[in-house]
Amino acid sequence: MSAFLSYTLARLGLLVLALGLGYVAGLRGPLLLVLAFLGSGVISFFMLNKQRSNMGGKVAGFFTSINNRIDANTRKEDVD
């Protein structure tokens, strides 16, 4: 499973959990949504640090490879 997919699913799981807990606690409507998003965001900041770092490394590597290919093509054009 890709790092992006696992991190996204973990974030969605935390959001669903926060929504469920808020609903059980008696929250409804926009207040439930706002507090669930804020709560899941704060929790994920601490609990998903390893997954977020892993995903960030994969994304950075992806864009580095794109930049390397662009640089290689630019050097190739300069030689011609």
Q: Domains of the chain: which residue ranges?
A: 3-79
pLDDT at 80 over 70: no
Contacts of 8 (CB under 8 A, 6+ apart): none
Cα atoms in the Cβ-side hemisphere of radius 13 Å centred on 77: 6
pLDDT for the residue 4: 85
* Averaged pLDDT of the chain: 91
Per-residue pLDDT tens over the stretch 24-57 = 999 999 999 999 999 999 999 999 999 999 888 8
